[in-house]
Structures are given as structure tokens and as C-alpha cells.
Structure 1
Amino acid sequence: VLALGAQAAWLGTRFLLAEEMPIHEDYRRRLIAAAETDPQRYPNLYSVGWPDSPHRALRNSTADAWEAAGRPPLAQRPGAGDVIAHFASGEAIVRYEPAPPMTGTTGDIEALSMWAGQSVALARQPQPAADIVAELTSRL
């Protein structure tokens, strides 16, 4: 992006595959398998406690149900308020909450918010964060 004239870039998706990132293995596998067209832009899908926040995430059953219902507001969404998973701490995760699956998360992992940008297709394997930084800065 710098070669194309940008002054900065968001690199969150790339660092999701850092070995140090404690994401759930199902999430990691989905990121590794994803194509650049898999992340979808949602204006407010995962809006429990985070209203009006556009984001990109991998399509899943939560997104499919919301879209099939016509993208209704939070209170009218299918399964709104349903507990679909728990963090390792035991804290509940409700559908449409911006809570990605982390190590130790249990429940319906596929239905949780799995953040990813279009650059997801450029990362194909976990590697140490230091190696990611070294790779990125070696091209400056």
C-alpha cells in the first residue's frame, strides 16, 4: 500500500494469524482458507454494544439469517439476545455481539463475529508477530 501512495495501512487481519494471537483454531482455519472476496462489509451486523460501526467479517450463519430477514434492526433480528457461546472465563456471548472466538471459547463458534479484511487471502499460515513485522518492514 505504501508503494501505491498510501501513508499508512490497517494490518489487523494480518496479525490475526500471528502465533501469539489467542484466537480459536476454527477461526484460524477459516482465515487461512479464506479468499479475498470472503470478507463481507456489514454496516452494523455485530452491533450489540457497538452500534453504527461498519466492519468486515467472514460470512456465517448469523449473517445469513440476518440477511434472509431483510437486515432488520437489532431488536428485530433472528435470535437477537440468544446466548450462542461462552468465553473461557464463562462469560456469555450473545448473537450479534462483536466478540470473536478466542482460545477456550465454547459453543457455536461458526456463528460468532470473525473479523477479516480483504487482505485475508495474502496470509496463508500462522507465524510469529516478529516475523510478520520483519517481512513488512523489509519492503520499505
Structure 2
Amino acid sequence: MPIPTRKLGRTGLDVTVLGFGAAPLGDIYEVLDDATAIATVEAAAAAGITLFDAAPLYGQGSAEHRVGTALRRRPPGSFVMSTKVGRLLTPAPEGRTKTTRYVGGLSFNVVHDYSYDGAMRSHEQSLHRLGLPKVDILLIHDAD
């Protein structure tokens, strides 16, 4: 049975009523290997999910990288990609603890930056990690 879709507000985007949130792919609770994480995204897409959400915060960029690796294999227009701004990733000095609660992830520190320049840099960094030419939805992460 196909997953029902709906128009997302006034965006004109058709999305499945069930989306895929990628925080666990950033090793929030346990460390996942890349193959398992990518296979999880591929299984969700094969099951009919079309809405995928990630963020720079999730595993200090690893969730975006993993989701992008899987979705780049799919035809353009067959999925809707959402990510967030408000966090920039900076290289973590060797031997220093990362500044997030994720048990794994990439070796970056997360810096809060809600400025215009910060949002633009965050968006650009996300496109690079995702390996996609665009995202369909860009949200502000934890604006409070």
C-alpha cells in the first residue's frame, strides 16, 4: 500500500505523510557504520517515503553526508530534502572533545550562528555534505 502524500503548505511540494528524520544516522544514541546508515535511507525510499530531513547538528554533519550519499542515487525530483541552518561546523582540534551529545559523528564542533552570513554558510556547507545541488526546505534549527 503506497504511503499517502499531501501538499506541504503553500510550497507546492508533494510529500509523504510519513517522513524520514535523520538524527539517528548522526550516531545520536549509538555509532552506526556508513553502510548500515545508507542502507536505512535506501530502504525508506524504497518503501515509498519521499520526505527526508537532516541537519548539520546531527552527528556534526555525518547524517547529512549519509542521507546525501543515498539520495544522490535516486532520480532528481523523486524526493524532498529538508535541512536546517543556525549551526556552523568548525574542525575540532585534535584530542579535544566535540561539543555535542552525539556518541559518534564527524570531528567537528558545532557553533550557533543565526546571522545572515551564518545561515548562508550553513546552507552552503549542507549542500556540500549532501552532495546535492539544492535542498527543497531550509528550516531554522532551535531558534529559541
Answer 1 or 2: higher relative contact order, Cα 8 Å, separation at least 6: 1
User: Which is strand-richer, 1 or 2?
Assistant: 2
TM-score interval, smaller chain: under 0.3
* TM-score between the two structures when normalised by the length of structure 2: 0.22
* Bigger radius of gyration: 1
